Structure 1
Amino acid sequence: MTPQIKLKPLVWHPHVAPVELADATAEQLEAMKVTPSAKKVSPYVRTLAHDPESYVARTVLFNAIMYAEGGLPRSDRELGALGASVVNGCRYCAVVHARQHAQLTQSDAVVSAVYLDRPEDLSPRDAAIYAFARRLSVTPSTAMPEDVQALRDAGLEEAEIVDLIHSIAIFGWANRLMHVLGHATPT
């Protein structure tokens, strides 16, 4: 059995000064209303708000992929995001999505298996999702029909596979954006 780990949040430090709410334009303030959490406006959101039109387009797409009702369960979307973020070396996103997965499943078992590199401790479904996320993130063109078949064999339906591809793909992009715009450190 995999030992259980607990991941502490990281702090993201932008390289570009984020938009200050007091100095934000009406367009920037309106754009920041589409933030996924709707709880706070993070430095990342405020950094992206320098280009409000792009920020809104990115966030509407992100929300549709990660928070859509139906299809692939949210915890599986988070596992896809986690797998992509691990491969892409985005520590911040990996920790955020690992913590989301653990919260949604009420268990640290999958996250621990991923962080301790023990894929043999994953269920067949989780192992297939994680392996596919890794394969698609390392070199997308190397994902083969047998990789998709492994997902089907693990019980994923076609619409769920499409949802998984979307969650992995958006993190191929999002991880790289975060790397360019800033860096993460422990709290």
Structure 2
Amino acid sequence: MIPQVTLKPLAWHPYIAPVELINASAEQREAMKITPSNKKVSDYVRTLAHDPESYVARTLLFNAIMYVGGGLDRPDRELGALGASIVNGCKFCAVVHARRHAQLTQSTSLVSALWFNRPEMLNPREAAIYRFACRLSVTPSEATTEDIVALKSVGLEEHDIIDLIHAIAIFGWANRLMHVLGHARVE
């Protein structure tokens, strides 16, 4: 038995000054209306808004991968994002997606198993998804046909696997972007 974790949100601090809403151009203000969670304009969003055109393109793609209806279940997408974020060392994203997974599943069992480095505690579906997320994040070319077979054996269909690949891949990119633009810490 492993202890259950409760993860407190981390704060992300940019290395460059975020766009101040009061000083934002019309194009920046328009871009910031499209946030990843459609909930708030964070320091991260305001930092990315320095380049509003690329911010909008990135966010539309992110939203289509992580929040679209249908396809792979949201908890499985969050597990893919969590696995990628753990491998990539992005504590901020790992905490965000661990909390989302726990909220969606109403359970901290998976998150606790991963936080205490006990992946053997995952059920077969979770283990296959997590293993694939890790392999694809460490060295994408090391993901094999056997990984796909393992995903299919736990109920993922081809369109689900494509959704999972998208979730893992966008976090390969998002984690690295967060690393160069700022850092996370407990406050």
TM-score range, shorter chain: over 0.9
- Work out the CA distance in 1 between the residues paired with 2:57 and 2:104: 26
Whichever residue aligns with residue 125 of structure 1, its letter is: R
Give ranges in structure 1 of 5+ residues lacking alignment: none
Structure 1 residue aligned with 2:6? 6
Whichever residue aligns with residue 178 of structure 2, its letter is: M
- Work out the CA distance in 2 between the residues paired with 1:2 and 1:42: 34
- Work out the CA distance in 2 between the residues paired with 1:39 and 1:126: 28
Structure 2 residue aligned with 1:111? 111
Give ranges in structure 2 of 5+ residues lacking alignment: none
Secondary structure at the counterpart of residue 183 of structure 1: strand
- Work out the CA distance in 1 between the residues paired with 2:170 and 2:39: 22
Secondary structure at the counterpart of residue 34 of structure 1: coil
Q: CA deviation at 1:37?
A: 2.3
Q: CA deviation at 1:7?
A: 0.7
Mapping for residues 6-85 of structure 1, pairs under 5 Å: 6-85=6-85
Q: CA deviation at 1:2?
A: 2.5
Q: CA deviation at 1:127?
A: 0.5
Q: Deviations over 1:102-136 (max 9, x none)?
A: 00000000000111111111010000000000000
Runs (4+) off by over 3 Å: none
Structure 2 residue aligned with 1:180? 180
Secondary structure at the counterpart of residue 13 of structure 1: strand
- Work out the CA distance in 1 between the residues paired with 2:84 and 2:124: 18
**What is the root-mean-square deviation of aligned Cα atoms in Å?**
0.6
- Work out the CA distance in 2 between the residues paired with 1:84 and 1:56: 23
- Work out the CA distance in 2 between the residues paired with 1:124 and 1:68: 25
- Work out the CA distance in 2 between the residues paired with 1:9 and 1:180: 20
- Work out the CA distance in 2 between the residues paired with 1:102 and 1:75: 8
Secondary structure at the counterpart of residue 184 of structure 2: strand
**TM-score, structure 2 normalization:** 0.99
Q: CA deviation at 1:16?
A: 0.7
- Work out the CA distance in 1 between the residues paired with 2:102 and 2:169: 21
Structure 1 residue aligned with 2:145? 145
Q: CA deviation at 1:154?
A: 1.0
Secondary structure at the counterpart of residue 156 of structure 2: coil
Q: Report the count of equivalent residues.
A: 187
